[in-house]
C-alpha cells in the first residue's frame, strides 16, 4: 500500500498533518526520528514541526536514513523539519531575534508546482523563533514573509521542499492546496486509501497478532471502546470478552443500562464487575487530580487482570485509546509533547501490567473513530454518543470523592442532560455534563438559610477534543436546568455555567 511517512519532532500539530494527508485518501504513518523506515511503498516523507532549536543538544536529529533516500523519495520539511533539512545540508539556521507567531503574510517568488493554485500573496500560520538565513547549494527561495524571512525553499532536483509555516492548520490559507500539491504533484500519490481499508487492515493485523488466544476489552460504553471492541470482535469473534467495570463513578443508571443495551446492539460477550467499594476505598481522602487518575488507572488494570485469569488467562487487553489521549498524556512517539494530564488508559497504567495492549484506534481522531464505527455497522445512537472519560465522574467531582458528592453529581448531571435532550441540544454538543465543586455557598430556601454545594454545568463544542468552545445554550434552557436541579437536588445551593474555552481550560475539570 502506498503511504506517506511523517517523522514526528514533537509538534502538537503532527497528527493534524497525518490527518490532512488521509483526508486526501493517502495513507499516512507517524514514526519517530530514530526509527527505521517502515515497510511499504513510501511515496513521500514529511518532517514535522517541533518545539526545539536545531542547536539544542537534546533536539531531534535528522533520521539516519535521510541521506540514502535523498533524491529518490520527495521530502517536505515543515517548520522545525525545514530548519533541520537546511542545517543538515550546511545551510544556516539562526536565532535572529525576529520571531513570527500566528497570522503572517507571505509572498511567492515565482513559478513552482509546489504552490500551484495559490495566489502570489496569502496568509500563513507561523510559530517559530529560529529562521533559515542561508540556503544550501542547489536550493532556491520560493517565498518570504512581509519581514523578509525565508518562508519556503526547494531543491527540485533532489525533491526537497521546506516551508516555515504550518499548512496543516486551518488558519493557513491554501494549506490544503499545498498539502495536496505535495502529495499528487511531488509524490505522485493516487488517492486510493480509505478508512474502510484501515478497518480491514486492522482486523487482519489483530487476527494474525492474537491467533486463538483469549482477549479482554476494557469496555466503558463510550464510542471509542465500543468501536475498538467491535473491531476486535470482527477479528477474533467470541475469544473476546468485554469487561464492564462499575466503579461507582458512572453516570446515573449506566451500570444497569450499558451491558443490556450494548449486548443487544453489538452482539458482544460481557462480564459486569461490581467494584465500587474497591475504587472508593483507594480514592478515600485523595484530592490531587493526577493521583486520582493514577489510582483509577491502576485499579482498572488490577480488576482486568483478575477477570483475565478467571476467564482462562487472557493475554491481551483491548483499550479504546485514541490520539488525543496519547497527545495530552505526552505519549507521542517522541515523548516531547508537553504533558497536560494522564489520560487513564495512557499515562495512568501501572508499569508491571501483565497483559499486552491492543489499541487499534491509537492513531485516529474521534471523528475518524466515529466513521469507522459507521463502517462497522454500529448503530447511530452509539456512534454519536457523547464521549465519557475512563475515570468517569472522578474527574468531575473536585476534591475528595465521597458517596454524598457522587450521588449529588449523578442527579444534577442527569437533569442537565435531560433538559438538553428534550430540547434537542444534547446531540449538537460534543459533551455536556455537570461538575461538583468542593465549596459550599450561602443561600436562602423557604425563608431559611441554606449552605449547599455548587454545581457547574459544562457543555462544549469541538471537532476532535484538542480545542473546544463553550456551547451557546439558550438562557431559557440554562434557567430550566438550574431551577430543576436546585428544586430536586436539595444539597445543591448554586448552579453556574462554565464559559471557558479549551485552551486555556480543558474540557474536563480535572
Cβ proximity to ligand XMP, 175 vs 348, nearer residue: 348
Instruction: Report 444-473 residues binding ligand XMP (CB under 6 A).
Output: 465
397 in active site: no
User: Binding residue for ligand XMP (CB under 6 A) from 3, 166, 299, 341?
Assistant: 341
Q: Cα angle vertex 194, ends 188, 197, to 5°?
A: 115
Q: Whole-angstrom Cα distance, residue 216 to residue 240?
A: 5
User: What is the CA angle 462-194-214, rounded to 5?
Assistant: 85
Residue 240 or 393 having the CB closest to ligand XMP: 393
Lookup: cell for 106: 507571505
Nearer to ligand XMP, 361 or 489 (CB): 361
Q: Contact letters (x/-) for ligand XMP, 311-330, by CB under 6 A? A: -------------xx--x--
Determine, following the binding rule CB under 6 A, whether residue 218 of this chain makes contact with ligand XMP. no
Q: Is 431 in the site for ligand XMP (CB under 6 A)?
A: yes
Q: Taking the complex as a whole, how short is the minimal distance between the CB of residue 17 and ligand XMP, in angstroms? A: 20
**Helix (H) or strand (E) segment spanning residue 146:** none
CB of 53 to ligand XMP, least distance (A): 28
Beta pairing class for 41-47 and 75-78: parallel
Q: Return the residue of 43, 343, 410, 417 that touches ligand XMP, per CB under 6 A.
A: 343
Window 84-143: residues binding ligand XMP (CB under 6 A): none
Phi-psi region of 10 (alpha: psi -120 to 50; beta: other; left: phi over 0): left
- Active-site hit among 166, 247, 343, 344: 166
CB of 369 to ligand XMP, least distance (A): 11
Mode of pairing for the β-strands spanning 150-155 and 160-163: antiparallel
**Residue 390 or 452 with smaller CB distance to ligand XMP:** 390
- In which residue are the cell numbers 480509505 written? 194
Least CB distance from residue 347 to ligand XMP, whole Å? 8
**From the CB of 299, what's the least distance to ligand XMP, in Å?**
13
- How many chain residues are in contact with ligand XMP, going by CB under 6 A? 17
Residues 6+ apart with CB under 8 A from 350: 297, 298, 301
Sign of dihedral through CA atoms 257, 260, 265, 268? positive
Q: How far is the CB of 351 from ligand XMP (least distance, A)?
A: 18
Decide if residue 372 touches ligand XMP (CB under 6 A).
Answer: no
The reply to whether 171 belongs to the active site is no
User: In whole angstroms, how close is the CB of 30 to ligand XMP at the nearest point?
Assistant: 20
Q: Please, what is the minimum distance in Å from the beta carbon of residue 349 to ligand XMP?
A: 11
C-alpha cell at 286: 485523595
Run of H or E including 300: helix 289-310
Binding mask 484-503 for ligand XMP (x = CB under 6 A): ------------------x-
The helix/strand/coil state of 2 is strand
Q: Alpha-carbon torsion 384, 387, 388, 391, what sign?
A: positive
Helix (H) or strand (E) holding 361: none
Between 366 and 405, name the residue whose CB sits nearer to ligand XMP: 366
Sign of CA dihedral 455, 253, 386, 428: negative
Q: What is the C-alpha to C-alpha distance for residues 352 and 201, in angstroms, rounded to an integer?
A: 30
> Quick check: 429 binds ligand XMP (CB under 6 A)?
no
For the CA atoms of the chain, what is the radius of gyration? 25
Query: Given 168, 255, 298, 510, which residue is catalytic?
Result: 168
Maximum Cα interatomic distance, the chain, rounded to a whole number of Å:
84
The DSSP code for 131 is E
Q: Which is nearer to ligand XMP, 43 or 341 (CB)?
A: 341
223, 379, 401, 218: which is closest to 314 by C-alpha? Answer: 218
Stretch that binds ligand XMP, among 144-152, 169-177, 340-348, 406-414 (CB under 6 A): 340-348
Residue among 345 and 459 whose Cβ is closer to ligand XMP: 345
| 233 classed as catalytic | no
Cβ atoms of 226 and 234 within 8 Å: the answer is no
Considering only CA atoms, which of 170, 45, 156 is closest in space to residue 110?
156
Please identify, using beta-carbon distances, which residue of 8 and 328 lies nearer to ligand XMP.
328
**Binding status of residue 506 toward ligand XMP by CB under 6 A:** yes
State in angstroms the smallest separation of the CB of 386 from ligand XMP. Answer: 8
CA atoms within 13 A on the CB side of 442: 3
The interface mask with ligand XMP, positions 382-421, x = CB under 6 A, is -----x-xxx------------------------------
Asked if 305 and 355 touch (Cβ cutoff 8 Å), the reply is yes
The closest alpha carbon to 392, from 270, 260, 292, 320, belongs to 292
3-32 footprint of ligand XMP as x/- string (CB under 6 A): ------------------------------
**Catalytic residue IDs:** 79, 166, 168
**Residues forming the site for ligand XMP (CB under 6 A):** 324-325, 328, 341, 343-345, 387, 389-391, 431, 465, 502, 506-508
Amino acid at each position: 500500500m502506498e503511504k506517506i511517512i511523517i517523522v514526528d519532532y514533537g509538534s502538537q500539530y503532527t497528527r493534524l498533518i497525518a490527518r490532512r494527508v488521509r483526508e486526501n485518501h493517502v495513507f499516512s504513518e507517524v514514526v519517530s526520528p530514530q526509527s527505521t523506515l517502515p515497510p511499504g511503498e513510501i511515496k513521500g516523507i514529511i518532517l514535522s514541526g517541533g518545539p526545539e532549536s536545531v542547536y539544542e543538544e537534546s533536539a531531534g536529529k535528522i533520521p539516519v536514513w535521510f541521506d540514502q533516500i535523498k533524491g529518490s523519495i520527495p521530502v517536505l520539511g515543515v517548520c522545525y523539519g525545514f530548519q533541520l533539512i537546511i542545517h543538515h545540508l550546511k545551510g544556516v539556521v539562526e536565532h535572529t531575534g525576529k520571531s513570527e507567531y500566528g497570522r503572517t503574510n507571505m509572498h511567492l517568488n515565482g513559478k513552482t508546482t509546489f504552490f500551484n493554485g495559490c495566489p502570489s500573496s496569502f496568509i500563513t500560520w507561523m510559530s517559530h523563533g529560529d529562521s533559515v538565513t542561508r540556503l544550501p547549494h542547489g536550493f532556491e527561495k520560493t517565498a518570504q514573509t512581509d519581514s523578509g524571512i525565508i518562508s519556503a525553499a526547494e531543491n527540485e532536483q533532489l525533491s526537497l521542499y521546506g516551508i516555515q509555516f504550518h499548512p496543516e492548520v486551518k488558519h493557513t490559507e491554501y494549506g490544503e492546496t499545498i498539502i495536496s500539491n505535495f502529495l499528487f504533484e511531488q509524490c505522485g500519490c493516487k488517492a486510493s486509501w480509505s478508512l474502510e481499508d484501515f478497518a480491514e487492515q486492522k482486523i487482519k493485523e489483530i487476527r494474525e497478532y492474537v491467533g486463538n488466544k483469549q482477549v479482554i476489552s476494557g469496555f466503558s460504553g463510550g464510542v471509542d471502546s465500543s468501536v475498538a471492541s467491535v473491531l476486535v470482535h470482527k477479528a477474533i469473534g467470541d475469544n473476546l470478552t468485554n469487561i464492564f467495570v462499575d466503579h461507582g463513578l458512572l453516570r446515573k443508571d449506566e451500570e444497569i443500562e450499558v451491558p443490556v443495551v450494548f449486548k443487544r446492539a453489538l452482539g458482544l460477550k460481557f462480564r459486569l464487575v461490581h467494584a465500587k467499594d474497591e475504587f472508593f476505598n483507594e480514592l478515600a481522602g485523595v484530592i490531587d487530580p493526577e493521583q486520582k487518575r493514577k489510582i483509577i488507572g491502576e485499579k482498572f488494570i488490577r480488576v482486568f487482570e483478575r477477570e483475565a485469569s478467571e476467564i482462562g488467562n487472557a493475554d491481551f487487553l483491548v483499550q479504546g485509546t485514541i490520539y488525543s489521549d496519547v497527545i495530552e498524556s505526552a505519549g507521542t512517539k517522541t515523548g516531547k509533547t508537553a504533558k497536560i494530564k494522564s489520560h487513564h488508559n495512557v499515562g495512568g497504567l501501572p508499569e508491571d501490567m501483565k497483559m499486552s495492549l491492543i489499541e487499534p484506534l491509537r492513531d485516529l481522531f474521534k471523528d475518524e473513530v466515529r466513521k469507522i464505527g459507521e463502517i462497522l455497522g454500529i448503530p447511530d445512537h452509539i456512534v454519536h454518543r457523547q464521549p465519557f472519560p475512563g475515570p468517569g465522574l472522578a474527574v468531575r467531582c473536585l476534591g475528595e470523592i465521597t458517596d454524598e458528592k457522587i450521588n449529588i453529581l449523578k442527579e444534577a448531571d442527569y437533569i442537565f442532560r435531560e433538559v438538553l435532550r428534550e430540547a434537542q441540544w444534547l446531540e449538537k454538543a460534543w459533551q455536556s455534563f455537570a461538575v461538583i465543586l468542593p465549596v459550599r455557598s450561602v443561600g436562602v430556601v423557604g425563608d431559611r438559610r441554606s449552605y449547599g454545594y455548587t454545581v457547574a454545568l459544562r457543555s462544549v463544542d469541538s471537532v476532535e477534543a484538542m480545542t473546544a468552545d463553550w456551547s451557546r445554550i439558550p438562557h431559557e434552557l440554562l434557567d430550566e436546568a438550574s431551577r430543576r436541579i436546585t428544586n430536586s437536588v436539595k444539597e445543591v445551593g448554586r448552579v453556574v455555567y462554565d464559559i471557558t474555552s479549551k485552551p486555556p481550560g480543558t474540557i474536563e475539570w480535572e
